[in-house]
DNA sequence: AAACAGTGCAACCGCTCTGAC
DNA sequence: TGTCAGAGCGGTTGCACTGTT
């Protein structure tokens, strides 16, 4: 359905608004109120498109517009809402009094988006970016075996581990290369004692299911020699290097396993030290469970600089490995 | 001091949605 | 039901400003 342009573009002014034009628009709207934007320019004595008038009014001349730097509360609200709503700037703006969709959109694109990218966060999905993980160095290690991959499972999301598996296969020249390594680990897995006979105490890690059901390597999921999930879990439980209360708030490894909904959440539970390293703020629990990487740390960060904000944001990212956890222990 | 590059933001463009007729 | 105008939305552009060499 063809549409006529919203206004006759010939003779209409474009570009930045002058103070005189602003004054005319403000005076007209104060007298007649906003609305009927098509006829407004003519009635107000403006050589502008009605659309341009509406944009100028709603984004810059409205009396309730809040100007100036975004506060940390506003910023974290934007990030959280964006993680839920996506690029629905008007919907986000509706939750931020005094801020316009255009302003929020610009702030996102020029500040928040870049900061998330620098921190390795995909600004679209709010998830860690897989392309920034240096998986190749891990996967070319001679220590590569299934148990190590399964330990990585606690650090990476399922997509990352899937990628790892695919990279392993590609690195070996054919998918059977990985299969061979998996078979080598069969002995290791089978030799392990079952430390927790009652596997029903915790849910089967759904992410593991993702791994074994991957189409590539093609024959991975169907090969009879591939260890079953219970065997793999046994391997993890037997070889996980952390024991007792290491790195956790007095919570044992076993307790973590029995309460975690999956192995990744177990790892996140272990990373409590990271929280206290950053702040004493009790609301960090929600940080670690929220889709958005940020939550309430207002008392800490208010008035801080851009770099300080980024520093805090980096520390809040749950995928970032805290110093207290030595990766070498996992390998 | 000048040239260049990078950044931020105001404004525009094209499309979709909504309601009136 | 179809058409149209008005309004709104999200993506993109262009320019001014700032920092760097």
pLDDT tens-digit series, residues A277-306: 333 333 323 322 333 333 333 333 444 455
Please state whether strand B lies within 7 Å of residue A4 at its CB atom. no
Question: What long-range pairs does A109-116 form, CB within 8 A, spacing at least 24?
Answer: A111/A70, A111/A306, A112/A75, A112/A78, A112/A79, A112/A82, A115/A306, A115/A309, A115/A310, A115/A313, A116/A293, A116/A313
- Closest nucleotide C1' to the C-alpha of A114: B7
CB-neighbour burial class of residue A161 (10 A; exposed 0-12, middle 13-18, buried 19+): buried
Which pTM was predicted? 0.51
Distance measured from the CA of protein residue A23 to the C1' of nucleotide C17, in angstroms:
25
d(CA A322, CA A316): 10
Strand B bases with any atom < 7 A from protein Cβ: 7-16
The residue extents of the domains of chain A are: 19-61, 131-245
Any bridge partners for residue A121, and if so which? A128
Q: Scan residues 84-103 of chain A and list those with Cβ within 7 Å of strand B.
A: 102-103
Please state whether strand B lies within 7 Å of residue A60 at its CB atom. yes
**A130 pLDDT tier (thresholds 50, 70, 90):** low
Residue at minimum CA to C1' distance from nucleotide B9: A106
Assigned token pair, A244? 């007792």
Assigned token pair, A292? 């958005």
DSSP letters for A7-70: S--TT---SSPPHHHHHHHHHHHHHH-S--TTTHHHHHT--S-HHHHHHHIIIII-TTPPPSPP
pLDDT tens, A187-233?
Answer: 333 333 323 333 332 233 333 223 223 333 333 333 333 333 333 33
* CATH number among 2.30.29.30, 1.20.140.10, 1.10.4030.10, 1.10.10.60, domain A19-61: 1.10.10.60
Among the listed residues A38, A22, A233, the one whose alpha carbon sits nearest the alpha carbon of residue A147: A233
- Closest nucleotide C1' to the C-alpha of A55: B11
Distance measured from the CA of protein residue A253 to the C1' of nucleotide C13, in angstroms:
55
Among the listed residues A107, A109, A106, A132, the one whose alpha carbon sits nearest the alpha carbon of residue A119: A132
Q: Please give the helix or strand (H or E) that residue A89 lies within, else none.
A: helix A89-94
Among the listed residues A120, A123, A125, the one whose alpha carbon sits nearest the alpha carbon of residue A112: A123
**A62 pLDDT tier (thresholds 50, 70, 90):** confident
Please tell me whether the peptide bond between A217 and the residue prior to it is cis, using omega within 30 degrees of 0. yes
Please say whether the beta carbons of A80 and A294 come within 8 A: yes
Residue at minimum CA to C1' distance from nucleotide C8: A90
Distance measured from the CA of protein residue A306 to the C1' of nucleotide B1, in angstroms:
31
Residue A128 main-chain phi, psi, to 5 deg: -60, 145
Q: Scan residues 109-138 of chain A and list those with Cβ within 7 Å of strand B.
A: 109-111, 114
Helix axes A146-153, A229-239, angle to 10 degrees: 80
pLDDT, greater one: A147 or A128:
A128
d(CA A44, CA A46): 6
d(CA A181, CA A141): 13
Question: Is the per-residue pLDDT at A3 higher than 50?
Answer: no
Look at the alpha carbons of A252, A257, A259, A264 in this order and tell me if their dihedral is positive or negative: positive
Question: Is the per-residue pLDDT at A173 higher than 60?
Answer: no
Any bridge partners for residue A128, and if so which? A121
Distance measured from the CA of protein residue A48 to the C1' of nucleotide B21, in angstroms:
28
**A97 pLDDT tier (thresholds 50, 70, 90):** confident
Q: What is the mean pLDDT of residues A1-26?
A: 67
- Looking at residue A264, its pLDDT comes to 30
Task: Name the DSSP letter for residue A112.
Answer: I
Among the listed residues A142, A119, A135, A170, the one whose alpha carbon sits nearest the alpha carbon of residue A313: A119
- Looking at residue A308, its pLDDT comes to 54
């Amino acid at each position: 359905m063809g549409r006529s342009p919203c206004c006759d573009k010939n003779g209409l002014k474009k570009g930045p608004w002058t103070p005189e034009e602003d004054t005319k628009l403000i005076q007209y709207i104060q007298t007649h109120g906003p609305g009927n934007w098509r006829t407004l320019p003519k009635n107000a004595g403006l050589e502008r498109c009605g659309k341009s008038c509406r944009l100028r009014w709603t984004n810059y001349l409205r009396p309730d517009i809040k100007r100036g730097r975004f506060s940390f509360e506003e910023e974290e609200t934007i990030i959280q809402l964006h993680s839920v709503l996506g690029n629905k700037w008007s919907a986000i703006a509706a939750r931020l009094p005094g801020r316009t969709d255009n302003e929020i959109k610009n702030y996102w694109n020029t500040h928040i988006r870049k900061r998330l990218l620098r921190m390795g966060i995909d600004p679209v999905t709010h998830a860690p970016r897989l392309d920034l993980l240096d998986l190749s160095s891990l996967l070319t290690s001679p220590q590569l075996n299934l148990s190590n991959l399964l330990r990585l499972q606690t650090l990476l999301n399922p997509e990352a581990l899937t990628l790892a598996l695919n990279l392993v296969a590609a690195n070996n020249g054919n998918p059977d290369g990985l299969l061979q390594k998996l078979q080598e680990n069969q002995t290791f897995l089978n030799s392990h004692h079952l430390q927790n006979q009652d596997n029903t105490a915790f849910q089967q890690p759904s992410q593991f299911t993702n791994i074994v059901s991957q189409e590539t390597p093609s024959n991975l999921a169907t090969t009879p020699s591939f260890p079953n999930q219970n065997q793999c879990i046994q391997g993890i439980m037997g070889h996980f290097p952390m024991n007792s209360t290491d790195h956790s708030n007095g919570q044992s490894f076993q307790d973590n396993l029995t309460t975690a909904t999956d192995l990744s959440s177990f790892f996140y539970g272990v990373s409590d030290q990271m929280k206290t390293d950053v702040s004493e703020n009790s609301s960090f629990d929600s940080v670690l469970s929220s889709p958005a990487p940020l939550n309430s740390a207002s008392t800490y960060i208010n008035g801080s600089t851009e770099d300080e904000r980024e520093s805090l944001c980096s520390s809040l990212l749950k995928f970032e490995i805290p110093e207290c956890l030595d990766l070498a222990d996992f390998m």
